[in-house]
């Protein structure tokens, strides 16, 4: 744990997403888009990398806390909404992006492509919103 630093990400959420980790969900959550994409296409490097990540999550969590900005929007809420309701755009509505949220709702996350885009960029979208509030 980092002293005097507000945590942006949660180990508990990291482990919840790890359950879906053979598809890379926890790696995307911690800002590791490239390895998340590799996990997505290789089933967590044939489940071996997925099991190893069980022990790596605390370190990934600490690095994410250093990298991303705390603010009004909560990363954990956003990621849980994306992981479980992303095709409906609920995470975008939570971020105040109502128009794109409604478009996602009507088009299944722009036919899945917008959902994948958000897997790659959600942490940065939230950091940008949170840093502009300060």
Within-domain flag for 46: yes
User: Band of the pLDDT at 99, cuts 50, 70, 90?
Assistant: very high
Burial class, 20, CB count within 10 angstroms (exposed 0-12 / middle 13-18 / buried 19+): middle
Could you report the per-residue pLDDT of 19-62, keeping only the tens digit for each? 977 789 999 999 999 999 999 999 888 989 999 999 999 999 99
pTM, full prediction: 0.87
Q: How many structural domains compose the chain? A: 2
41, 67, 93 - which closes a domain: 67
Question: What's the CA gap between 39 and 24, in Å, rounded?
Answer: 5
pLDDT of residue 1: 46
Q: For residue 3, is it within any domain?
A: no
Q: How many residues does the chain have?
A: 134
**59 Cβ partners below 8 Å, 6+ apart?**
none
* 91 in any annotated domain: yes
**Of the listed ranges 25-29, 67-71, 106-110, the one predicted with least confidence:** 67-71
pLDDT at 69: 85
On whether both 104 and 133 belong to a single domain, the answer is: yes
In a domain, 1, yes or no: no
Domain residues for 59? Answer: 8-67
């Amino acid at each position: 744990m980092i002293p005097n630093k507000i945590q942006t990400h949660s180990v508990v959420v990291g482990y919840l997403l790890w359950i879906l980790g053979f598809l890379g969900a926890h790696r995307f959550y911690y800002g590791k888009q490239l390895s998340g994409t590799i996990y997505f296409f290789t089933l967590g490097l044939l489940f071996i990398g997925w099991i190893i990540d069980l022990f790596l999550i605390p370190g990934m969590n600490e690095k994410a806390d250093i990298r991303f900005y705390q603010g009004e929007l909560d990363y954990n809420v956003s990621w849980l909404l994306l992981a479980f309701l992303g095709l409906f755009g609920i995470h975008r509505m939570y971020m105040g992006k109502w128009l794109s949220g409604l478009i996602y709702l009507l088009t299944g996350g722009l036919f899945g492509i917008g959902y994948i885009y958000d897997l790659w960029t959600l942490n940065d979208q939230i950091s940008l919103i949170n840093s502009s509030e300060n």
